[in-house]
């Protein structure tokens, strides 16, 4: 595989596991409507390749009870659906955050040892 393709595949794998938690984190801080959320995610390099797939993800999170939605009047058109993280979502996020930090620390350690940095 060409180096670019290999990077893409690796990134895709990392991203896939983590994206839902990034969504939960963003929605934990404040309620957002979908397009706004996609924009916020897009601001992070490499986080979203196919913006459209965020919508199925939001639907799954909703079904799993990790986010809830509410409709809100919008000044610029029809009412918008706003998303926010539920209590269960917060719990999931906290669980992930702890694991993620431990994991990332471990990986960093191994890499440093390998390269003696």
Partner 1 sequence: MTRTAADEAVDHYLDRLDEALAGVPGSRRVELAHEIAEHIADARRELPARDDEAAVRELLDRLGTPEEIAAAELGPGDRPAPASAAGGGDGREKLAIVLLLVGGFFAGIGWLAGVVLLWLSPRWRDRDKLIGTLLIPGGLTTAFVVVALALGTTADPACALNIAEPDCGDSSSVLPGLLLAAVVTLLPLASAAHLLRALRRAR
Contact residues toward partner 1 (CB under 8 A) are 16-17, 20, 34-35, 38, 42, 49-53, 55-57, 59-61, 64-66, 88, 91-92
Query: Minimum CB separation from partner 1 for residue 53, in Å?
Result: 4
Q: C-alpha angle 61/40/14, rounded to 5°?
A: 65
Cβ nearer to partner 1, comparing 35 with 103 = 35
Cβ nearer to partner 1, comparing 55 with 103 = 55
Q: List Cβ neighbours of 51 (8 Å cut-off, separation of 6 or more).
A: 38, 42
β-pair type (77-85, 32-33) = antiparallel
Cβ nearer to partner 1, comparing 88 with 111 = 88
Query: Minimum CB separation from partner 1 for residue 54, in Å?
Result: 9
Residues in the chain: 117
Query: Minimum CB separation from partner 1 for residue 15, in Å?
Result: 11
Cβ nearer to partner 1, comparing 60 with 108 = 60
Burial environment of residue 89 by CB neighbours within 10 A (0 to 12, 13 to 18, 19 or more): buried
Burial environment of residue 5 by CB neighbours within 10 A (0 to 12, 13 to 18, 19 or more): exposed
Query: Minimum CB separation from partner 1 for residue 43, in Å?
Result: 13
């Amino acid at each position: 595989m060409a180096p670019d393709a290999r990077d893409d595949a690796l990134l895709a794998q990392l991203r896939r596991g983590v994206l839902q938690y990034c969504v939960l984190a963003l929605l934990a801080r404040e309620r957002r409507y979908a397009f706004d959320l996609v924009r916020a995610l897009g601001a992070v390099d490499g986080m979203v390749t196919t913006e459209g797939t965020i919508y199925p993800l939001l639907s799954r999170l909703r079904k799993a009870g990790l986010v809830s939605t509410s409709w809100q009047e919008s000044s610029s058109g029809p009412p918008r659906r706003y998303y926010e993280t539920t209590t269960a979502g917060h719990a999931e996020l906290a669980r992930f955050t702890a694991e993620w930090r431990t994991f990332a620390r471990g990986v960093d350690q191994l890499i440093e040892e390998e390269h003696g940095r």
